[in-house]
Each structure stands twice: as C-alpha cells, then as structure tokens.
Amino acid sequence: MRRIKGFTLLEVVVTIGLVAILAAFAVPSFRTSIQNNQLAACSNKFVSAIQLAKSTAVTSRTRTQIARVASTTGIRFQVTDEGNSSQVLEVFECLGNDISISLSPDVANIQYGSTGFRADGNGQVQLTVCNELSKGKLVTVTTGGGVSTKSLGNC
C-alpha cells in the first residue's frame, strides 16, 4: 500500500497562525519605517531643489526661485529659471498625506541671484518637515545660500 505524503490540517493551521502572529508584530514596524523614509525623502528633495536653484543661478547667470505649488497628491516644490522666461526647471514632490511642511518666516518663495547668494531678502529660512509620528527634519537655508539639515525629536 502506497502512502501519500503531505501536511495535515493541524500542521497547516498552526503554520498559518504563527505567520499571522509574526505579521501582527511586523506591520507596525514597517509602517514606522515607511513614514520615516518618506520624511527623509521629502527633506532631501527640498535640499535638492535648493541646490538646483543655486547652481542654475550661477551657471546661467540669472535669477532662480523655489516656490511651493498646489498639489492634490502631496507637497510640491517647483524650481523656476526667471531669466529664461520663467522656465520650470524641475518639480520636486513629496508623496503621502501624512507629511506637513512649514516655512519660517512664512515666505512665498526662495530666490537666488546670479552670484549664488539668496536674492529674496528674507533672511535665514527654516523649513520644518513633520510626519504624523511627530518626527521631523529641519532644513535651514542661510542668507548666503547654504543649506543644512538636522533631525528634530518632536515637531
């Protein structure tokens, strides 16, 4: 008599139960990782926008600006070359509805002149990027045009 090998119903149920228990512990951890990665990506995109605006202003010897524009899918920044009939150079978008951004002081845009220095007269600008876990990043743009980032404990 030939015996068919396989799993019993009890073995399958126990395995599915263990996988469900492990998934219950892993899913919240993945969600936190995803939110923290979205936060870092958004602040890095803003830094990239700053660097693009500054380098374009110097190389094309024109004025450039970074401005926040309306978006239904997240937060969007647009880099524009003002010397080239306001040509949009690039759009940087932070996806996700759980990220918020605030500028201090509340300015409409950040501009760079042909020397690579800021040309908007707003002084030092700080951008705070926060997620729903109250974790945050602070991006500081100096009057000289330099940019730096640091992590915030809480927003």
CATH number of the domain encompassing residue 69 = 3.55.40.10
Summarize the confidence of residues 3-27 as an average pLDDT: 87
Looking at the structure of the chain, the number of domains it has is: 1
Confirm whether 3 is domain-assigned: no
Domain coverage including residue 133: 9-152
Please determine, for residue 97, whether its predicted confidence score (pLDDT) is greater than 80. Answer: no
Q: Give percent helix, percent strand, percent coil of the chain, each to the nearest 5.
A: 35, 35, 30
Confirm whether 4 is domain-assigned: no
Confirm whether 87 is domain-assigned: yes
Query: In b/e form, how buried is each residue of 136-149, taking b as 16+ CB within 10 angstroms?
Result: bbbbebeeebebee
Percentage of the chain beyond pLDDT 90 is 35
Q: What is the pLDDT of residue 149?
A: 92
Please determine, for residue 1, whether its predicted confidence score (pLDDT) is greater than 70. Answer: no
Confirm whether 108 is domain-assigned: yes
Confirm whether 2 is domain-assigned: no
- Cβ neighbours for 150, distance < 8 A, ≥ 6 positions apart: 137, 138, 140
Please determine, for residue 95, whether its predicted confidence score (pLDDT) is greater than 70. Answer: yes
Confirm whether 136 is domain-assigned: yes
The better pLDDT of the pair 149, 32 is held by 149
The separation between CA 34 and the C-alpha centre of its own chain, rounded to angstroms, equals 12
Q: Do residues 47 and 149 lie in contact, with contact meaning Cβ atoms separated by under 8 Å?
A: yes
Please determine, for residue 69, whether its predicted confidence score (pLDDT) is greater than 90. Answer: no
Mean pLDDT, the chain, integer: 87
Q: What is the pLDDT of residue 84?
A: 65
Please determine, for residue 107, whether its predicted confidence score (pLDDT) is greater than 90. Answer: no
Please determine, for residue 4, whether its predicted confidence score (pLDDT) is greater than 80. Answer: no
Q: What is the pLDDT of residue 18?
A: 94
Q: What is the pLDDT of residue 29?
A: 80
Confirm whether 118 is domain-assigned: yes
Confirm whether 65 is domain-assigned: yes
Window from 34-48, 98-112, 133-147 with minimum mean pLDDT:
98-112
